[in-house]
Amino acid sequence: MASASEVILPIGTQKHDPAWKHCLMVRSGGRTKLKCKYCTKDFLGGGIHRIKEHLARHKGNASCCPRVPPEVQQAMQQSLDGAAVRKRKKQKLVEEVKRLNPNQSSEEAAGPLELVPVQGGGALDAGAVQVEVKEEGAAAAAKAPERGRKRRMGTQVPGLALPPDSGQTMSKEQACMAIGRFLYDAGVSLDAVNSVYFQPMVDAVAAAGPGLQVPSYHDFRGTVLKRSVEEVSGLLEQYRASWARTGCSVMADEWSTETGRTLINFLVYCPEGTVFLRSVDASHVVASPDALYELLKHVVEEVGARNVVQVITSGGDCHAAAGGRLTETFPTLFWTPCASRCVDAALDDIAKQGGISEIVESGKAVAAFIYNHAPVLNMMRRYTNGKELLLPGGNRSAMNFVALKSMVGLKDELTAMVGSEEWAACPYSKKPAGVVVTDLVGSAGFWASCSAIVRITEPLVRLLTLADSARRPAMGYIYVGMHQVKEAIKKVLVKEQDYRPYWDIIDWRWDRRASRPLHAAGFFLNPRFFYSVDGEVSNEISSAMLDCIERLVPEAKVQDKIQKELSMYKSAAGDFGRKMAVRARQTLLPAEWWATYGGGCPNLARLAIRILSQTCSSKGFERNRVAFEQIHDRRTNVLEHRRLCDLLFVRYNLRLQQRQLPKSRAFDPLSVDDIDVVEDWVVDKGGLLSADEDSSWMVLDQPIESRGPSDCSSEDDAEAFIIGLDDEVVRRAGQDVEEEDGHDGVLCRMVA
């Protein structure tokens, strides 16, 4: 911008005119001048007002800038117009002051006027302000000891509002374009506008008014980041204060990056919320039980062993070995394999089953054809009233079955579309892939198979959402949940030869590791389930409860007290038998029920709350939306690495907080922001669908915002799963009753 002979001078912080942001102050040959940032024209006189006229393209006093962006030209014009308005208002105020204070000198009246809010406890009347006169010139010189002081007048001037910086406002379209240019220029993911902090940011900028001096690059790397770290650290301390009462779960979320790194994100869960601690490059750790043990041990010590109820990791052999050693070092906690990963693996295995695999691939063919042809996609959206064919399923394993469920829900609309004259006239329907779509959508067998698959897998998908739930601790439900899933599969397939392969998949993924005492104890301590069992619960559940007492309560005296208090719980004695307590078994969260009605059994209640307040998953939150690779770049300076770690700490925890908020997130299946989940359903990997066609996205109809999914929909699925739990399934789970063959149900065969 500046030539080699020119020196750029700093622009002082007192220069508030918006035009200063669009010019440079340079010194050359002993003279100081202003230079336009856009056309580099020099201005030796006229000051900032001349620059502003130049940018506003005013003809006369200054030449017009040929390269000024439209929004800058508009802003400069508004500033010039606003200056004229303020000048007229100022003169009017001077005249009003003279009228109200006839004894005031002309020099005082001519001094600069400032409008300040009325002081007082009440709300500010927008139509009333107080006038201050800053004394300058001869009057100020005559009162040197009072230089710079302001003389406040108690008179309120009605009908005068605080003048804005300009007399006009920017249109919504202009504001949207300004935001868009920033996002496009900075390369920011457009998913950023889904942030719950986006609208508050826009509101804050609008409230500050035109000419806001935004924080600098160094501010965001420095003071702003420091304050954000302090805020998030304060939240961590707030959560930490609850760990002693509810206990917490250390979550080791292990995953692989596109570059082949194995990262472990460490988080801590409690009912108050989940907090992210750090991300570790564990590429050379996960293959060594000893190294993995040392890593887990360090995190447990940081959190506080007495606070930790369990450490949740993947269920691999190395993890099991490291977890076993960890429980020897810390005899008051459990190692538990991640329930979500077990369910994910079961869904993957089910998707590979012959009949199911073929139907899933057929569904992908329909979706990929629709989402790779703009005219067809527009047609589909018209027939579905804007509803999307695909909604994200959280991860790829669930996506296959979430997508099939969504398609089944739109069966009538899709059938009407392919049977319409519009479809028949569409050139894409006559292509080979279009003919396949016509045949599939028009096939009753295809839809029957899709419906059967959805009925088989929907309970498993809902169990996955329950295990990952941010609002309802899953520990009190996961044990009976697995029994419910198996029973749902049996009801659909009826015959043992049909449902047994799916049961075997679930049993292999769920039971291949050591028993999960916490899961069974969660069933025992959930009053809704415990009191639904006729007679005694199974030995497996009772034994698991004893395991938890011995491990989580190291003091022998307290263990003995809990044993005595168990008899009160089993017989529903004392407050446990109150009518309110009986009704609340179905409505309160299990831990809340114990906190409300367990006062007569304080030791058992304390243990129950700690067990029932835990999650069953080690999975974190939207890893693809938080940049992890950068902090593990070995080329990073030590100080910068620490800064990046703090930035990641802030970013991930802000994301985690959003899970607690009932906010929908706008979603487009075509967007790269969700490609990790929907890739198999929207990407033409074979290049067969549109290689020689115009694939312009500009002709697409914009998706309807209200169809965007949210965390609330997942939480609703979890609630639906719990509400739908069968009492007979609960009884069988509690007594370990073997299911009999020949249970009534509807036979649905897979169509090859």
DSSP codes joined into one string, 191-255: GGGGSTTHHHHHHHHHHH-TT--PPPHHHHHTHHHHHHHHHHHHHHHHHHHHHHHH-EEEEEEEE
The predicted pLDDT at position 610 comes to 97
Q: Which residue has the tokens 């999975």?
A: 619
Q: 385-439 pLDDT, tens per residue?
A: 888 888 876 677 888 899 999 999 999 999 999 999 999 999 988 999 899 999 9
pLDDT tops 50 at residue 95: yes
pLDDT tops 60 at residue 314: yes
Shared-domain flag, residues 433 and 528:
yes
In a domain, 167, yes or no: no
The better pLDDT of the pair 168, 299 is held by 299
CA distance 286 to 323: 12
Shared-domain flag, residues 717 and 654:
no
Helices (H), ranges, 271-316: 289-303
In a domain, 237, yes or no: yes
The pair phi, psi for residue 280, each rounded to 5°, is -125, 135
Shared-domain flag, residues 363 and 500:
yes
Q: Which two tokens stand for residue 461?
A: 């998908």
Chain center to CA of 108 = 57
Q: Give percent of the chain above pLDDT 90.
A: 36
Shared-domain flag, residues 654 and 674:
no
Q: Which residue has the tokens 């107080």?
A: 130
Chain center to CA of 220 = 22
* Residue 489: its H or E element: helix 478-493
The predicted pLDDT at position 519 comes to 94
Shared-domain flag, residues 531 and 400:
yes
Shared-domain flag, residues 524 and 387:
yes
* Residue 318: its H or E element: helix 317-329
Q: 280-291 pLDDT, tens per residue?
A: 988 888 889 999
Shared-domain flag, residues 503 and 538:
yes
| Range of the structural domain that residue 487 is part of | 344-550+670-735
pLDDT tops 90 at residue 527: yes
Whole-prediction pTM value?
A: 0.73
Q: Which two tokens stand for residue 336?
A: 């538990």
> Which among 252, 214, 238, 243 has a CA at the least distance from the CA of 308?
243
Shared-domain flag, residues 194 and 313:
no
Residue 132: which pLDDT band, with cuts at 50, 70 and 90?
very low
Q: Which two tokens stand for residue 478?
A: 């996961």
In a domain, 719, yes or no: yes
Shared-domain flag, residues 352 and 431:
yes
The better pLDDT of the pair 100, 211 is held by 211
In a domain, 206, yes or no: yes
Shared-domain flag, residues 478 and 511:
yes
Domain end, chosen from 68, 83, 107, is at: 68
In a domain, 496, yes or no: yes
Domain end, chosen from 214, 248, 268, is at: 214
Q: 331-376 pLDDT, tens per residue?
A: 999 999 999 999 999 999 999 888 899 999 999 999 989 888 888 9
In a domain, 709, yes or no: yes
The predicted pLDDT at position 720 comes to 74
> Which among 541, 561, 543 has a CA at the least distance from the CA of 532?
541
Contact 536, 731 (CB under 8 A): no
Three-state DSSP class for residue 279: strand
Residue 674: which pLDDT band, with cuts at 50, 70 and 90?
low
- The residue-averaged pLDDT of 668-691 equals 66
In a domain, 102, yes or no: no
Shared-domain flag, residues 281 and 385:
no
Shared-domain flag, residues 302 and 327:
yes
The predicted pLDDT at position 684 comes to 74
> Which among 242, 715, 730 has a CA at the least distance from the CA of 476?
730
In the chain, how many domains are there? 4
Domain end, chosen from 658, 682, 714, is at: 658
In a domain, 127, yes or no: no
Residue 111: which pLDDT band, with cuts at 50, 70 and 90?
very low
